[in-house]
Each structure stands twice: as C-alpha cells, then as structure tokens.
Amino acid sequence: MSIFQATRRVAYSFVAAAAATFATQAQAGGHGIDLTGKTVEWIIPFSETGGSAKWANFYAPLLSEALPGQPTVVVKFMPGAGSTKGANFFQNEKYEDSEGTLIFGSSGSTQFPFLLGDPRVKYNYGDWNVVLASGTGGVAYLPPELAAKMDGMNAAPLQGEDFIYGNQGATRLDLVPTLAWEMLGLNVESVMGIKGRGDGRLMFERGEANIDYQTSSSFLSGVTPLVEAGTAVPMMTWGALDDAGNIVRDPTFPDIPTFKEVCEATDGCETSGEAWDAWKAFFIAGFPAQKMVFLPNGASADAIATYTAAFEAVKARADFAEISGKRLGKYPQMTGEAAQNALESGTNVSPEAKAFVVNWLQEKYGVSLN
C-alpha cells in the first residue's frame, strides 16, 4: 500500500466516524453542512442517453431527500472528448467556490483515459473526494439470426461474420468489449465517436450495428424490451467478482454466461496469458467500481461526512433494494472506506496490463499513448 493510499484510508476512517455522527444528528434535527434553499449541480461527463445518465437520474431525487435541507439536485450533462471535458472542468473547481453544491459522477470511461495516460487527461483522482461507488455489469447482445449461429456458449461459428459496433472511443470503457471480441476471434469494425452507449443501442435498433453491449442499467431499461420483442438476444455478460477475485456469473443476469465461459468454450480464446490478464485487469477497473460520486478538491470533512451520511441514508431506505435492483441491477453501492477501496481498484492497473493495452490500442486503432 502506498503512503498516499494509507493516508487516504486513515482520513476516510475519520470521515466514516463523522458520517455516523452526522447521521445521528440528522435524526435529531441537526446536520453537517446546511444546503437549505440551495441547488446541487451533479456533473455527468456523458450524454443523457447512457448508463451514467440513468444512474445519476435514479440517485438525484433520493439524494435530494437525504441531504440536510433537501436541496434540489440537478443532473448536468457535459459530454465531450471521451468524458475528459467534464472531468477536466471538475478538476479546476474548488470546494470553497461551491460550498457543497457541486458533485461529479465518474465512470469507467473516465477512469480508463486516466489509467492509460491519455494526453487529454488534466484531472487527478487523488485530488477528489469519493462519497459513493457503484458497481455494475455489462451485457453483450446480438440480432437473433446471428445469436442462432452460436453453438451453445461456443462463439467460433461467428468468426466468419462481419460485425459493426458503435464505439465511444478507443481509450474508453468500450475497450473491454472490443478486446473480448478480438480474443474470441470475431471480426468487429468499430464506428468510432458515438456520444454514449445509448447511441450504440439506437444504431443496433436501426440495423446500423449488429453487435452491441450496454451497462446493466441501460440493458435493463433499453435492451430488455428488445429481448422481449425478439429483436435482440443476450450473448454474454462480463461477469462479476467473488470474494476471492474470481469471475463468476453476474447476479443481475445469472442465466447469461460470462465472457470467461464463452472464451473457455471457443477455440483460440484463452483465459490465461497476457491478453486475458489485461482484459481482467481493465474489467476490474471498469465494472466492479464503475461509477463514483466525488466532491471537488478541498472539500471539508463536514461536507464529505454529510454526503456520505446522505448516501448511507439512501441505502438504508426500506425500498432501496427493490428500486435499485430494477433500475441499476444487483450490485454493491459503497460508501466510506468501501468506496475508497473501490476508488483504488478502479484507478490502478498493473504496469503489464497497461503496457499490453497501450500496445494493442496502437496496433488496432493507431492510437499512440507513449
């Protein structure tokens, strides 16, 4: 553990204790920071069509109810430059200017450029203060005529097909599916530069793409109707992690095989070696801790504890498991030290995994990050 990580963990242990105190005070009519009559602006660095939008729109009214003073929480979309535009904007914001009325929603597509050294990145996760981390999953799906060609979990019969995929960008979360499909030997051409995964789904619906993936929240709301109508068939999930770090079936989609299972059933795809290790490293960085909420640089302990307590109160709602399961899927929603641990896993990969992906991006897309 680095000195930075140890320091942050100590700080978050104090914050967690303060959050518990503020939660008790809130029940008695007190609070940490007063947001009465204020508007909290929640920046999402993506378009309003994707999974981050659905995640933030789910939480916003619940957070409004839970924060002291019940401020209005407004989700502001700031897409551009692979989500780095919004992240760079947030990096330049100081807590003392907003006094608790500005928060930021990060995603794996924001974490990956940071991990890979994308030159557009001017932000540093070490400067921000995490108050919520949300795990999620992802589901790849096909048109029924192509899905019917698979031999059970064996994707080899698809290796002679030509696929088109709406891709948000080479260094974004889309590298998890595109590397998976390459490992399976599929010929997938990426149409680069779509603004959000919702646009990828629309390409699929219009017949402009014949392979796609969505994060769990978007799959539940946007693709499930297509599955029910018979125009889309799930191919695989990326899976989930058990306590030992093994990839297991996604708890939201337990009947759909994981990429690991499909890979094991497909000749030429290996679940060991450099490609697998890199894929798994970026899957872990991108999905078990995919979405996070931050306060800006300089946030006070009172502010961090207030937001932590508010998200704890949201999770403690009697109906939370039911409503979150329907909208987000069955994944951990983490605060305090658990959120800090998720941040560390989401913003760190091994040098070997990074080197493999950097070289792969250069060879596949001509993207130079060296």
What is the percentage of the chain residues whose pLDDT exceeds 90? 82
- Does residue 238 carry a pLDDT above 50? yes
| CATH 3.40.190.10 in the chain, residue ranges | 138-285
pLDDT band at 370 (very low <50, low <70, confident <90, very high): low
Q: Which residue has the tokens 């019969």?
A: 157
Question: How far is 19 from 306, CA to CA, in rounded Å?
Answer: 6
Q: Beta strands of the chain (E only): which ranges?
A: 39-44, 72-77, 102-106, 129-134, 138-142, 162-167, 187-192, 212-215, 233-237, 240-241, 247-248, 291-295, 333-334
Q: Which residue has the tokens 């378009």?
A: 47
What would the pLDDT profile of 53-109 be if each residue is shown by its tens digit? Answer: 999 999 999 999 999 999 999 999 999 888 999 999 999 999 998 889 999 999 988
Question: How far is 201 from 223, CA to CA, in rounded Å?
Answer: 8
> Cβ–Cβ contacts within 10 Å for residue 335, how many?
25
Question: How far is 159 from 152, CA to CA, in rounded Å?
Answer: 15
| CATH 3.40.190.150 in the chain, residue ranges | 3-136+288-351
- Does residue 22 carry a pLDDT above 70? no
- Does residue 134 carry a pLDDT above 50? yes
What would the pLDDT profile of 269-298 be if each residue is shown by its tens digit? Answer: 999 999 999 999 999 999 988 899 999 999
Global pTM value: 0.84
What is the percentage of the chain residues whose pLDDT exceeds 70? 91
Least confident of 15-19, 163-167, 249-253, 339-343: 15-19
Token code pair at residue 103? 């928060």
- Does residue 45 carry a pLDDT above 60? yes
- Does residue 127 carry a pLDDT above 60? yes
Q: Among the CATH numbers 3.60.15.10, 3.40.50.720, 3.40.190.150, 1.10.8.60, which is that of 3-136+288-351?
A: 3.40.190.150
CB-based contacts of 188, cutoff 8 Å, min separation 6: 163, 164, 165, 178, 181, 182, 211
Question: Do residues 278 and 355 lie in contact, with contact meaning Cβ atoms separated by under 8 Å?
Answer: no
What would the pLDDT profile of 145-200 be if each residue is shown by its tens digit? Answer: 999 999 999 999 999 999 999 999 899 999 999 999 999 999 999 999 888 899 99
In this predicted structure, what is the pLDDT of residue 160?
A: 95
Per DSSP bridges, beta strands 72-77 and 129-134 are unpaired
Does the domain at residues 138-285 carry the CATH identifier 3.30.465.10?
no
Mean pLDDT estimate for the chain: 90
Sign of CA dihedral 337, 342, 348, 353: positive
DSSP code of 258? B
